Amino acid sequence: MAELVYPPVIATARAWFKALDLRFDIQGTEHVPRRGGALLVSNHISYLDFIFTGLAALPAKRLVRFMAKDSVFRHKVSGPLMRAMKHIPVDRSQGEDAYKHALKALDSGEVVGVFPEATISRSFTLKDFKSGAARLAQEARVPLVPVALWGTQRLWTKGHKRDFGRNHFPVGIRVGEALHAAPDESAAGLTSRVRERIQDLLESAQRAYPGTPNGPNDKWWLPAHMGGTAPTPAEARAM
């Protein structure tokens, strides 16, 4: 079936990126499979992360079907768009339906996007990962492609006003080599491997990041361990 909505949405996003004068540092897009089912597994630091994770799949000419909370699908504006782009609603009280939906998409050769932290990390460090992505990969026999994002939190994240001005914010995107479940590997073990790989990619993106705080009051987007004023992981859990 022809994709009537997704390509125009991508074109609009690209025009928006240009208007914002965003600068991208993207590496590793060759690791996204050009055909067949796959899971893109990313860290989560911004409300816009699905856009940037999807951007990483475009060189492979793949469209990503993201798993997102069902409230987004109930919104009068975003709902019709999400359904038209074949994203996958997740009702956290009935997660099995979303799991089956994602499994069907993977079996049909789609790329599915997952944020295993489930919610945005207020500390901008990796939270604990849910094991659902690993279980999906094992059952569908598809690879897990790790993705790390950095800088997206400066645009719009939890607890801070969105900033869509022409601030020339850099955005770092790192894609790692696909991971495959080892024979008899547990979902917990595979989840741990994916998390470790995303941590490595995140640190790589942070080291290469050219952006610096614009004064002492602009350190909120940096984690505490990097000298920023973001909550520590323990403080973020308490919040």
- For tokens 């350190």, the residue is 219
Question: From CA 89, how far away is CA 103, in angstroms rounded?
Answer: 13
pLDDT for res 135 = 98
pLDDT for res 88 = 96
pLDDT digits (tens, 9 = 90+) for 93-134: 777 899 999 999 999 999 999 999 999 999 999 999 999 999
pLDDT digits (tens, 9 = 90+) for 38-64: 999 999 999 999 999 999 999 999 999
Of 3, 233, 10, give the one whose Cα is nearest residue 124: 233
In which band, very low, low, confident or very high, does the pLDDT at 77 lie, cut at 50, 70 and 90?
confident
pLDDT for res 169 = 85
Q: What does the mean pLDDT of the chain come to?
A: 95
pLDDT for res 144 = 98
Within 10 angstroms of residue 69's Cβ, the number of other Cβ atoms is 14
Give percent of the chain above pLDDT 90.
Answer: 89
pLDDT for res 167 = 77
pLDDT digits (tens, 9 = 90+) for 218-239: 999 999 999 999 999 999 999 8
Residue type (1 letter), 130: K
Segment among 79-83, 172-176, 204-208 with least mean pLDDT: 79-83
* Residues near 43 by beta carbon (within 8 Å), at least 6 away in sequence: 49, 115, 117, 121, 126, 147, 148, 149, 198, 202
Give percent of the chain above pLDDT 70.
Answer: 100
Mean pLDDT within 62-79: 92
Pull the structure tokens for residue 44. 């989560």
pLDDT for res 15 = 96
Please determine, for residue 22, whether its predicted confidence score (pLDDT) is greater than 90: yes
Pull the structure tokens for residue 1. 């079936």
Question: From CA 124, how far away is CA 55, in angstroms rounded?
Answer: 20
Mean pLDDT within 210-217: 91
pLDDT for res 1 = 57
Report the chain's C-alpha Rg in angstroms.
17
153-161 own/partner pairs: CB under 8 Å, 24+ apart: 153/45, 153/46, 153/124, 153/221, 154/211, 154/221, 155/46, 155/48, 156/46, 156/47, 156/48, 157/45, 157/46, 157/47, 157/120, 157/221, 158/47, 158/120, 158/122, 159/122, 160/220, 160/221
The CATH-assigned architecture of domain 23-238 is: 3-Layer(aba) Sandwich (3.40)
Question: From CA 226, how far away is CA 111, in angstroms rounded?
Answer: 34
Pull the structure tokens for residue 73. 């699908």
Is there a contact between 56 and 40 (Cβ–Cβ < 8 Å)?
Answer: yes
Q: What angle do CA 83, 89, 92 make, to 5 degrees?
A: 165
